[in-house]
């Protein structure tokens, strides 16, 4: 009992630390959320992580808890904290929980979606000819950090799509458009999806990205492309993200070429 009270005191105290100390506190909270055997301590960690907006570690830890923690109270708290963080990359994960999870988790996921949808900007469709949906993506070879890597990969692909003047990867209110919605806007729909394969040989970490384009909706495969990169480092989230930063723009050139031919 004393250990539990001390842990809660330390977690709460992290809110009032100076900036540098709070950066260290994020690591403490992340580790607590991941490793504590007491679900109440994990709930507290999940709650406190909601105050660390803009911190990728906080976002990744909460996504992991949402998807993998065995306790529904922890999962529900993680869901609401993701909404408070304000990162719209959590929306597809929260939608799954809002549709399929147990009552408390489902309720918190819906509350989180309300918070995030308020942050979804209106989309200017002027000059846009293609709607490109970024799919869920898959990750092989790095199970411990797959949730964070998927979110980062989807974000990188979205950033690449935003660079193309005639393409929008977004829809109003973060909605997933239906066929009639695309028809009203006179847009052609496509989806990009695929798998990131991660491997390690000695001190070298490799990432091979295989992606394909399908019609959307409909999902008829239209083209496939791939590419890889490697760098020296430990097999951790930071190294894999650096590897993705090298390979995503290269592989996306094939996507851009296909879209240009099919405007």
- pLDDT at 42 > cutoff 80: yes
pLDDT at position 192 is 96
178, 208 contact by CB (below 8 A):
no
Contacts for 182 with CB less than 8 Å, ≥ 6 apart: 131, 188, 189
Q: Residue 44 to residues 32, 79, 82, 103: CA-CA distances in angstroms?
A: 9, 13, 14, 20
Nearest of 117, 122, 93 to residue 105 by alpha carbon: 93
- pLDDT at 2 > cutoff 50: no
Give the integer Cα–Cα distance in Å for 219 and 244.
Answer: 25
pLDDT at position 196 is 96
Model confidence, pTM: 0.73
**What is the SS3 assignment for 38?**
coil
Give the integer Cα–Cα distance in Å for 223 and 261.
Answer: 12
Give the integer Cα–Cα distance in Å for 203 and 187.
Answer: 46
Question: Residue 232 forms beta bridges with which residues?
Answer: 204
pLDDT tens for each residue of 231-241: 998 888 888 98
Tell me how far the alpha carbon of residue 229 is from its chain's centroid. 21
Give the integer Cα–Cα distance in Å for 196 and 203.
Answer: 19
243, 207 contact by CB (below 8 A):
yes
Contacts for 15 with CB less than 8 Å, ≥ 6 apart: 48, 51
Contacts for 16 with CB less than 8 Å, ≥ 6 apart: none
pLDDT tens for each residue of 181-232: 999 999 999 999 999 999 999 989 999 999 999 999 988 999 999 999 999 9
Give the integer Cα–Cα distance in Å for 38 and 2.
Answer: 13
pLDDT tens for each residue of 65-100: 999 999 999 999 999 999 999 888 888 889 889 988
pLDDT at position 254 is 94
pLDDT at position 60 is 86
115, 248 contact by CB (below 8 A):
no
pLDDT at position 121 is 74
Higher pLDDT, 172 or 197: 197
Please report the domains of the chain, with CATH numbers, ordered by start residue: 2-117 (1.25.10.10), 130-261 (3.30.160.100)
pLDDT at position 172 is 86
| Averaged pLDDT score across all residues of the chain | 87
Give the integer Cα–Cα distance in Å for 228 and 163.
Answer: 22
Listed range (20-29, 123-132, 187-196) with the worst mean pLDDT: 20-29
The average pLDDT across 155-179 equals 91
């Amino acid at each position: 009992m004393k250990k539990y009270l001390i842990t809660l005191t330390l977690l709460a105290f992290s809110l009032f630390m100076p900036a540098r100390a709070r950066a260290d506190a994020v690591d403490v909270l992340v580790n607590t959320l991941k490793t504590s055997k007491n679900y109440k301590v994990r709930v507290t960690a999940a709650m406190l992580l909601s105050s660390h907006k803009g911190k990728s570690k906080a976002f990744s830890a909460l996504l992991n808890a949402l998807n993998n923690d065995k306790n529904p109270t922890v999962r529900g708290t993680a869901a609401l904290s993701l909404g408070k963080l304000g990162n719209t990359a959590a929306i597809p994960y929260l939608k799954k929980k809002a549709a399929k999870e147990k009552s408390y988790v489902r309720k918190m996921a819906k509350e989180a979606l309300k918070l995030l949808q308020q942050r979804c900007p209106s989309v200017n469709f002027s000059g846009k000819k293609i709607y490109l949906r970024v799919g869920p993506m898959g990750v092989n070879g790095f199970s411990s950090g797959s949730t964070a890597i998927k979110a980062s990969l989807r974000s990188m692909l979205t950033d690449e799509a935003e660079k193309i003047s005639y393409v929008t990867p977004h829809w109003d209110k973060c909605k997933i458009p239906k066929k009639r919605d695309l028809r009203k806007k006179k847009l052609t729909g496509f989806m990009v999806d695929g798998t990131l394969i991660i491997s390690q040989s000695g001190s070298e970490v490799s990432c091979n990205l295989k992606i394909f384009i399908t019609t959307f909706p409909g999902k008829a495969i239209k083209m496939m492309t791939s590419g890889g990169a490697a760098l020296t480092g430990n097999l951790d989230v930071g190294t894999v993200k650096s590897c993705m930063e090298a390979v995503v723009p290269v592989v996306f050139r094939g996507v851009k070429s296909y879209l240009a031919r099919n405007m």
